[in-house]
Amino acid sequence: MVLAIGWWIVIFVVALVLLVKSSDWFVEYAEKVGLSIGLSPTIIGVLLLASGTSLPELATSIIAMFKNSPEIVFGNVVGSNIFNILVVGGALFLVAGKGKFQPTQFKIEMWLVPATAILLLLLSLNLYISIWESVLLLLAYAGYVAYSVRQSKVVEDMVEMVTPKATPETARWYYWLFLLLSIAGICFGSEYTIEAILKIAEHFTIGKEVISLTAVAMGTSLPELLVSIAAGRMGKMEMALGNILGSNIFNILAIISIPSFLGPMNVPTDMVNISMPLMILVSFLMVGVIVSKRSSRALGALFILTYIVYTAWLYIADAN
């Protein structure tokens, strides 16, 4: 039995790494394919910057619904949003150190993060997300994408920071090959990530929502963490913060709504009572930091310490 659960832990780690790496490849080669067939760099930038780093969350959420585990979907989304702000944001402030930034690129996004968090809590009060509520969330995301497209100058500046010379190029056959391989990797990675979660939760009698709030959220948020730290090292605070905000908006509006079309979307009670209110609180904390236009290593350390305490409390409460 010990050997069996050890293998499932190994499978979980390997599957999560495959999922994250495949998502990176998907973003890279989807951009190359899009440019090669003549799509606008602006459109590509909106789609990839807003949702590209959240592909692991989306893939695992869809697989979780096929396995009749909607609590993993909510744990993944809420846990990822908390992780993005407290750990990704905290790591960004630690790397960037004391300094100022000008958040002119995401005046709307910084308020959409707490607004969508509040909306999700309100929709979840009856412990169920209906199809019509999912449609509402998708329409809200479509409106956000449309707004982003209209802000073409802002988006083009963001794209230029990521890919300085994003110009149309000749299509190459291996672009399509790596794109297909990345999709296969996302499918296999998410399938075995969820399967491993179910086995580990069953063995240790840990709630699936607790594992998804912590281990899965941490793993699927690695792209946001890596992108934001790299941007912080280069002094591009605005880009890093934009990545965090865009991912959180996508998580709630798209990752909650899309899987709900695959089966009943029941909401865990503890998620409504504890984790969602915390998600709202830390969202407003991030707004406060952005409005102040200042960062510091002390602030980053405080954010990360808060996440450590929250994670420890989750496991202690689940054990009692």
Question: What residue spans define the domains of the chain?
Answer: 2-319
pLDDT at 174: 77
From the list 73, 55, 76, the residue with the least C-alpha distance to 65 is: 73
From the list 33, 43, 13, the residue with the least C-alpha distance to 197 is: 13
Residue 319 or residue 314, greater confidence: 314
Q: What's the pTM?
A: 0.81
251 with 51: CB under 8 angstroms?
Answer: no
- CATH architecture of the domain 2-319 equals Up-down Bundle (1.20)
User: Per-residue pLDDT tens for 163-219?
Assistant: 444 444 555 777 888 878 887 888 788 888 888 878 887 777 888 788 888 888 887
- d(CA 113, CA 249) in angstroms, rounded, equals 6
pLDDT at 84: 93
Q: Is the pLDDT of residue 224 over 90?
A: no
User: Per-residue pLDDT tens for 5-51?
Assistant: 888 888 888 888 888 788 778 767 777 777 776 655 555 555 565 56
In percent, the amount of the chain with pLDDT more than 90 equals 28
Helix H or strand E segment including 100: strand 99-100
Segment 106-135 shows an average pLDDT of 92
pLDDT at 81: 95
Segment 100-127 shows an average pLDDT of 85
Segment 288-294 shows an average pLDDT of 84
pLDDT at 166: 46
Q: What are phi and psi of 80, to 5 degrees?
A: -65, -40
Q: Is the pLDDT of residue 247 over 60?
A: yes
